[in-house]
Chain A
Amino acid sequence: MLRPRIIPCLLIHEGGLVKTVGFKDPKYVGDPVNAVKIFNEKESDELAVFDIDATANGVEPDYAVIAHLAAECRMPLCYGGGVSSAAQAKRIIGLGVEKVAISAAAVERPQLIAEIAAEVGRQSVAVVLDVRKKMLGGYELRTRNATRAHRQDPFVFAHEAVVLGAGEIVVNSIDLDGAMRGYDLKLARRMREAIDVPVTFLGGAGSLADIEALVREVGVVGAAAGSLFVFKGAYRAVLINYPAPETKEQMIRAALAA
């Protein structure tokens, strides 16, 4: 049985690990390499690491940091942040990263998706779509830490990205970032139905029950979360955590049986 992937998502800002709310107010929560070591011990399904400074500052990905994280990581790793060429993507894959995530650069120049897929294979290309609910219904696509709005419809763009060579679509809800009150299940269902590659949802998970609800809604899927795996309790005390294997297995079986 193929299982849903439960994925801690780590944000890097000024060299440290942070967690944002609504894509703002980064709170320092620790050291990235230390977090990777903890998730190794907890045997997490995958790990996603996004450098939220690289694109914003117009700088190259920090290859030394990526190499260090990849060497420590004993689970599949997805890296995103500042990737805007196939040569950069190839270099990152060569450092031992399984998947490269692209966002702003792909939305601004979709052909990049095809170029990267040709270089590293489509299974290693993840396109991240930051989406926000529109006031009058529907969703809009935004990039560059949600500062720039785009006219493309997120579902149409996701389909286009898949045709071009995306092996995975990561849908990141701007509204629910750090909110910890559950995934946007309507968004999840619409995106699942729009494309035929694996989809990962990020934004909103506040408990294992929220992940279970997502799996009940859309089946085998990637369930990514930031706050859930770095905070504990109502006061958001920093504590890196991940469900125990038995707990995770029980939850998955219950959700898929429904």
Chain B
Amino acid sequence: MITIVDYGLGNIGAFLNMYKRMNVPAKAARSADELTGAERIILPGVGAFDHAMELLDASGMRPLLEEMVVDRGVPVIGICVGMQILADASEEGKAQGLGWIPGIVRHFRSRTALGSLPLPHMGWNDVEPLDTADRLFSGLERDARFYFLHSYYYDCADPADRAAIATYGAPFACAVRKGNVRGVQFHPEKSHHFGAALLKNFAEL
């Protein structure tokens, strides 16, 4: 069973619809009770970093989530801002992140390589997995592209935690991974068959 953490952010319905079409059992969890027993966890998110952390704290699910992910190694994937809060902190706000994958979320404008490119980084971009054996990207090694909508990017403390890169001005980590914790900056739930394949891979990890 895939469990989507519904703490008030992100398109929960889009994930549920995607999995329904694939006949993969999935449900949303709005409380610690509903999160109990999750085998795979999706942590969605849109909007601002601090707002996401506030809502996650207010949801009452954070202590159990940390126990499941950190102590018991349940596979988790953060999506968009749900990925960014895996970091230690963000230039966007003052809140502390979950700190599951060391790094700081930075604004694209802080990189000179961006030049005069518009922000947010909006639209379909190529995603290049760095580890060809990574099962999250099975079948997506060539031609994979996903929908992005963001102005901040994950700056991993350890480059080895980068799982995939995309290029906007310069390459940046658009997917991160450390053990059972993963995150993607793009929106697989809105990326047609590419996104469906990635979500299916996550369900089968």
Q: Do A and B bind each other?
A: yes
By a beta-carbon cutoff of 8 Å, the part of chain A in contact with chain B is 1-5, 40, 43, 45-46, 70-71, 73-76, 93-96, 98-99, 120-124, 167-168, 195-199, 220, 222
Please determine whether B13 and A71 come into contact, CB atoms closer than 8 angstroms. Answer: yes
Q: How far is the CA of A98 from the CA of B14 in the complex (A)?
A: 11
Give residues 1-17 of B contacting A (CB, 8 Å). 8, 11-14, 17
Closest to B17 in A: A71
A-B contact pairs, 12 of them (CB 8 A): A3-B123, A3-B124, A45-B147, A74-B18, A74-B192, A76-B147, A93-B46, A96-B11, A96-B14, A99-B149, A168-B120, A196-B116
Q: How far is the CA of A4 from the CA of B123 in the complex (A)?
A: 7
Contacts of A75 in B (CB 8 A): 147, 190, 192
Please determine whether A123 and B149 come into contact, CB atoms closer than 8 angstroms. Answer: yes
Q: How far is the CA of A4 from the CA of B125 in the complex (A)?
A: 10
Nearest Cβ in chain B — how far from A197, in angstroms? Answer: 5
Q: Which among B125, B190, B193 is the interface contact of A2 at CB below 8 angstroms?
A: B125
Give residues 104-143 of B contacting A (CB, 8 Å). 116, 118-126
Please determine whether A3 and B190 come into contact, CB atoms closer than 8 angstroms. Answer: no
Please determine whether B118 and A198 come into contact, CB atoms closer than 8 angstroms. Answer: yes
Please determine whether A124 and B46 come into contact, CB atoms closer than 8 angstroms. Answer: yes
Closest to B196 in A: A74
Please determine whether A121 and B17 come into contact, CB atoms closer than 8 angstroms. Answer: no
Known: A1-B167, A3-B124, A121-B47. A43 touches B118 (CB 8 A): no
Closest to B125 in A: A2
Known: A71-B13, A75-B192, A93-B46. A123 touches B147 (CB 8 A): no
Number of interface residues of B (CB under 8 A): 32
Please determine whether A198 and B124 come into contact, CB atoms closer than 8 angstroms. Answer: no
**B187 sits at the interface (CB 8 A):** yes
**B168 sits at the interface (CB 8 A):** yes
**B22 sits at the interface (CB 8 A):** no
Please determine whether B190 and A98 come into contact, CB atoms closer than 8 angstroms. Answer: yes
Q: How far is the CA of A73 from the CA of B151 in the complex (A)?
A: 24
Candidate in A45, A121, A222 with the most chain B CB atoms within 10 angstroms: A121
**B200 sits at the interface (CB 8 A):** no
Please determine whether A121 and B123 come into contact, CB atoms closer than 8 angstroms. Answer: no
Please determine whether A5 and B123 come into contact, CB atoms closer than 8 angstroms. Answer: yes
Q: Which among B12, B123, B145, B193 is the interface contact of A198 at CB below 8 angstroms?
A: B123
Closest to A200 in B: B122
Q: Which among B17, B120, B124, B192 is the interface contact of A197 at CB below 8 angstroms?
A: B120
Nearest Cβ in chain A — how far from B141, in angstroms? Answer: 17
Please determine whether B149 and A76 come into contact, CB atoms closer than 8 angstroms. Answer: yes
**B48 sits at the interface (CB 8 A):** yes
Contacts of A123 in B (CB 8 A): 46, 120, 122, 149-151
Q: Which among A76, A93, A95, A122 is the interface contact of B120 at CB below 8 angstroms?
A: A122
Please determine whether B123 and A220 come into contact, CB atoms closer than 8 angstroms. Answer: yes
Contacts of B48 in A (CB 8 A): 121
Nearest Cβ in chain B — how far from A78, in angstroms? Answer: 11
Please determine whether A167 and B120 come into contact, CB atoms closer than 8 angstroms. Answer: yes
Q: How far is the CA of A58 from the CA of B11 in the complex (A)?
A: 28
Please determine whether A2 and B168 come into contact, CB atoms closer than 8 angstroms. Answer: yes
Contacts of B145 in A (CB 8 A): 3
